[in-house]
Chain A
């Protein structure tokens, strides 16, 4: 499957990693909901580790959509609590 780390790029990871990633992601969300910043950091770090350990970066000229988009590496706890709903440079 194709995973994007927001702000970095796309990686191809083995399909079986998807489930593990999903599990870590869900646990990261409950950490956020419980206000457990250290727990969130650790789980999010594990997600990124999994992607970089098993994944291969896609070439820049590859035009495919990602199956999953992971938040940016430097996401703050505040941002993790909120939503990424900004308009950015792409007009709605």
Chain B
């Protein structure tokens, strides 16, 4: 099959051959094969555990984004109540960017969750196959000569090898995904750090590169709408103090 399935089959099959080629002495194939399987099964277990850890880290990142959103919202209200619409806009633009990131991170974490479940399922399958191989190996050892055993075991070894290669590929895909997400999360953090927002006055008069970048990314209808809404709220509230109500940490 030359198609997608063909390509997929070729990749997996070449992995299996490399896996199986390592057993050179036919007499040792059985035990060596099993020993190798057990060894690789450990790699797979560790790989699955790593994916789980990465996913947890990304989930923590989403919490951080949520906090940042609340904080920026509070800051925007503060700025507005002090008549600083420029600062309020800047805060809302940042908020919009982080909200966008949060959404995409959420989606990806969910995808990763599904991948993780499938991985765990497949690791279990692999364990069952390795165990079946062990049983088969003992039976073959007892019943066949070395040469005959070689033939008998080849199919079984390919069966285990295929599952092994497939789980390995799935782990790699999950890892690639977490790497991409980590890189993105890092970029957002950098944005946040570069335009530190701890103190509203730190934003100053002039726009820096980050502000311009954020404005390009986030400015638009969403920010305008939100600003108008906030203005109306603050306007109807009368004073400047009530605007601080929603935030947890006042500046």
Question: Interface of A with B (CB < 8 Å)?
Answer: 4, 6-9, 21-22, 25-26, 28-29, 32, 44, 47, 60-66, 68-72, 74, 79-80, 83-90, 92
Q: A25-B5, A92-B18 are in contact. Are A86 and B169 (CB under 8 A)?
A: yes
Main secondary structure of the interface of A (DSSP, over half): loop
Can you offer 25 A-B residue contacts whose CB atoms are under 8 A? A7-B115, A7-B118, A7-B170, A7-B173, A8-B118, A25-B5, A28-B3, A47-B5, A60-B128, A62-B132, A65-B159, A68-B5, A68-B9, A69-B8, A69-B162, A84-B7, A84-B8, A86-B172, A86-B173, A89-B40, A89-B171, A90-B18, A90-B43, A90-B164, A90-B165
Task: Give Cα A79 to B158, complex, Å.
Answer: 26
A19 to B3, CA, bound (A): 12
**Distance in angstroms between the alpha carbons of A89 and B37 in the assembled complex:** 12
Q: CB of B114 within 8 A of chain A?
A: yes
The CA of A28 and the CA of B4, in the complex, are separated in Å by 8
Q: How far is the CA of A68 from the CA of B157 in the complex (A)?
A: 17
In the complex where A4-B162, A7-B122, A22-B1 touch, is A90 in contact with B15 (Cβ < 8 A)?
yes
B40, A64: Cβ atoms under 8 Å?
A: no
**Is the CB of B136 closer than 8 A to any CB of chain A?**
yes
Interface size on B, residues (CB 8 A): 52
A22–B132 alpha-carbon span in the complex (Å)? 31
Chain A: which residue is nearest B115 at the CB level?
A: A74
| A-chain residues with CB within 8 Å of residue B173 when the two chains form the complex | 7, 72, 79, 86
Are A25 and B3 within 8 A (Cβ)? yes
Complex Cα gap A8–B124 (Å): 11
Interface on chain B toward A: helix, strand, loop, or mixed SS? helix
CB pair A71–B171 under 8 Å, yes or no, is no
Q: Are B9 and A72 in contact (CB under 8 A)?
A: no
Contacts of B159 in A (CB 8 A): 62-65
Contact call B124/A60, Cβ cutoff below 8 A: yes
- For A72, list chain B residues within 8 Å (CB): 170, 173
Tell me, yes or no, whether B12 is within 8 Å of chain A by CB.
Answer: yes
Contact B4 A66 (CB under 8 A): no
Q: Which residues of A contact B166 (CB under 8 A)?
A: 4, 6-7, 69
Cβ B111 vs Cβ A88 within 8 A: no
A64 partner residues in chain B, CB cutoff 8 A: 155, 158-159
- By the criterion CB–CB under 8 Å, are A61 and B131 in contact? yes
B71 within 8 A of A: no
Contacts of B131 in A (CB 8 A): 61
Leading 9 A-B pairs by shortest Cβ distance? A63-B159, A25-B3, A88-B168, A61-B132, A60-B128, A63-B156, A65-B158, A89-B168, A88-B172
Known contacts A60-B128, A63-B133; is-contact A25 B4 (Cβ 8 Å): yes
